[in-house]
Structure 1
Amino acid sequence: MNELINEIRQGDTDKYRLLVRQLAPSLRSYLAGRLSDFHLVEDLSQEIFIAVFQSIEKFDPKYDFRTWFFTIARNKLNSHLRKTYSKKNLKFAFEEEIQNLVAEVCDEDPDRERKLEHIQSCIAKLPEDALEIIKSRYYTNETVISLAERLNSTENAISSKLFRIRKNIKDCLSAELRHE
């Protein structure tokens, strides 16, 4: 691998194409485990390969190249997620999705607007960490495995939290509708 890297550093773009062919399947697999959109996986893969190419002079051959490469990939992925799914955008998307789901169920319901207000109220009552988890899971389609890894938790703990969050929203909605 070090010989290949040296040839790339000397300007051999054909060798870089070879490196891309070698690493692309692993990179796409890594990204697909954290993103649900195929096109986004492809776009982000290209961005990562460009960043690696532009930074290859900084690589220290005494370290493992794959580790360096996937560190860049992880950083690019996290940067993309932070930019794309800011808290404000996620809160709006989350509320809008809940409203759309309720609208489908109770389109003919004369109390539809009132129910939507109750749903928004229940969402607003969720703690920030719960909002982040449920939005990441259901609106960015981040996998439970990826959430557990990112939050330094276990898959079982994340699954349990998601269950409790959904139950809290449902219980809140029931309570608000009963107290009218």
Structure 2
Amino acid sequence: MQSYTLLRFSLYSIVIRQTLMRCVVQRVTSATVEVEGKSRSIGVGLCVLAGIAPNDGNKDIQWMLNKLLNLKIFSTSHQASIDGVTRHEEKKWGHALSEIEGGLLLVSQFTLYHITKGTRLDFHKACEFEKAHQIFSQLIDGCKKTLGDRVQTGFFGEHMKLSLTNDGPVTLVLESPFSTRTDSSSSPGSEPSNI
């Protein structure tokens, strides 16, 4: 009985972890988002696909802001002269976005909360439109407080075309540690619904 309870708790924990604020972060040399002839672009920096979960709040925003702005994801190079010989040295993972004068392109992405249990995609774990827009806007505002006009955004709720050149390639998935489930499928033993 104890083993069964522990198993149910473990499965419940996995379900809970599926509803965190989630960002896919790519280090880029350039990125552009476009919709109906309008476009927004950055050069060297980060392209971030941001997914908002139903229970995301200020703690999630602050945690994600800290990661996006301060994560040591960029390499830097400099010349060093040793015994009269000049050498090119590179420091990998040495600098954060806030330190390199890079750009940030934030694009909302509800499809990060997909369920693929069947053959049709289910996105019911994503946050509803109005609240997601509010949380996403707060994330943008927080980034702009540090980066100013180096922040560009996608077109919320629109069908967009995104093009980028991934540098490395370097791609990270960041998840806030704070959010939890509150919908009817959050009880142990329940399963997410499928379209």
Of the two, which has the highest radius of gyration?
A: 1
TM-score band by shorter chain is under 0.3
Larger strand fraction of residues: 2
TM-score, normalising length from structure 1?
0.25
Greater RCO structure (CA 8 Å; 6+ sep): 2
More helix by share: 1
